[in-house]
């Protein structure tokens, strides 16, 4: 359960990689097959955004949910200026939000967006104006719930005072934990759910990406500091910790990493992304991996002994993109 009584499955599916960020991309029919398999396996929470592609990710999700609309909760996002098919900075002016929402509704083939996120905070637009615009869209029946992504604690509080926030989507995993200090306590205080993206560390925490891996053009990991060859070697220490617990729990490293995220709070719903059916099934199996309080403390403590090498994004990506 996220905030504002938004009930979703314990694990969602991040659809970004089906057409954005992690080239090469599968054929549309294969992505639709993964979404259908997710629905069959009990997943009802699907995450997309207008900027993924741009645009074609929402079209994939929209085509996949035909005949399944009543079974699924669809989250999408606004907040970027898109020029000639590329991101051109953040833009959350009310007129931009409205234009984005109309496009999203059309591409998704729905009358109402279940969870509408601001993709990134726009420093030029007061968050109260953003929240107020979404409040109006909810009143008009074009959206049901309001979300933020990668927002700070004070921004969350200001937005929540205008329109209750159902969820914050931000990066969180065993190797990205900066939100534990201030953000997660703020969410708990306000009754807001947390939707971690990249809960598997963009695939690294599965143990399947070694220092020999060559990333395709169009795969963002090829330019991320944490995925340099040197960093991949150094960060194996964290994989070793995860592997030890995988062996003890008769689980895979991916399942241990996801189960750790799930164990933090009952209102945390990770959205691992995949384009492969067997990975989908593996990820969903994490819901059946449980830790005792002692095991969870041991895993957390052991992971904290590892100093992760490399920033999660380049400085330019941190400043300018919605990944």
* Mean pLDDT of the region 86-106: 96
Q: Which residues contact 65 (CB under 8 A, 6 or more apart)?
A: 35, 46, 72, 74, 108, 109, 110
216: pLDDT strictly greater than 50? yes
At residue 31, does pLDDT exceed 50? yes
pLDDT digits (tens, 9 = 90+) for 257-268: 999 999 999 999
pLDDT at residue 121, rounded to an integer: 97
Is 13-320 assigned to CATH 3.30.559.10?
no
Q: Catalytic: 117?
A: no
| Confidence check: pLDDT of 117 > 90 | yes
Q: Which of 151, 166, 188 is nearest to 264 (CA)?
A: 188
pLDDT at residue 199 tops 60: yes
Residue of 52, 55, 117, 313 marked active site? 52
Average model confidence (pLDDT) for the chain?
A: 96
The 10 Å Cβ neighbour count of residue 19 is 24
Could you read off the pLDDT of 38-82 as tens digits, one per residue?
A: 999 999 999 999 999 999 999 999 999 999 999 999 999 999 999
Phi–psi pair at 18, nearest 5 degrees: -70, -20
Instruction: Assign 320 a pLDDT band (cuts: 50, 70, 90).
Output: low
> What's the pTM value of the predicted model, to 2 decimals?
0.97
218: left (phi over 0), alpha (psi -120 to 50) or beta: left
Q: Provide mean pLDDT across the span 291-315.
A: 96
The structure tokens 């945390």 sit at: 268
Helix, strand or coil for residue 296?
helix
- 99 Cβ neighbours under 8 A, 6+ residues apart: none
Domain boundaries, the chain: 13-320
Which phi and psi (to 5°) does residue 69 adopt?
A: -55, -40
């Amino acid at each position: 359960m996220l905030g504002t009584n938004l009930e979703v499955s314990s694990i969602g599916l991040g659809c970004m990689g089906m057409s954005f960020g992690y080239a090469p991309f599968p054929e549309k029919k294969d992505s639709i097959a993964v979404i259908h398999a997710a629905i069959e396996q009990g997943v009802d929470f699907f995450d997309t955004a207008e900027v993924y592609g741009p645009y074609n990710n929402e079209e994939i999700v929209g085509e996949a949910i035909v005949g399944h609309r009543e079974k699924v909760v669809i989250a999408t996002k606004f907040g970027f200026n898109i020029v000639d098919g590329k991101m051109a900075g953040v833009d959350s002016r009310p007129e931009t939000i409205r234009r984005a929402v109309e496009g999203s509704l059309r591409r998704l083939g729905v009358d109402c967006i279940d969870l509408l996120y601001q993709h990134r905070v726009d420093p030029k637009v007061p968050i109260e104006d953003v929240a107020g615009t979404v409040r109006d869209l909810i009143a008009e029946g074009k959206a049901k719930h309001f979300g933020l992504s990668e927002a700070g604690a004070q921004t969350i509080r200001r937005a929540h005072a205008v329109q209750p926030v159902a969820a914050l989507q931000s990066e969180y995993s065993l190797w990205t934990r900066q939100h534990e200090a201030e953000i997660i306590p703020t969410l708990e205080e306000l009754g807001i759910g947390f939707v971690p993206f990249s809960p598997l560390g963009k695939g690294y925490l599965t143990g399947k990406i070694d220092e020999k891996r060559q990333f395709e053009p169009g795969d963002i990991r090829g330019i991320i500091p944490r995925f340099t060859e040197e960093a991949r070697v150094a960060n194996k220490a964290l994989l070793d910790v995860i592997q030890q617990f995988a062996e003890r729990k008769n689980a895979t490293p991916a399942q241990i990493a996801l189960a750790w995220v799930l164990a933090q709070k009952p209102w945390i719903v990770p959205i691992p992304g995949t384009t492969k059916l067997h990975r989908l099934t593996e990820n969903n199996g994490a819901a059946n991996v449980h830790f005792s309080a002692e095991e969870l403390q041991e895993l957390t403590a052991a992971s904290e002994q590892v100093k992760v090498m490399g920033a999660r994004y380049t400085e330019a990506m941190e400043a300018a993109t919605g990944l």
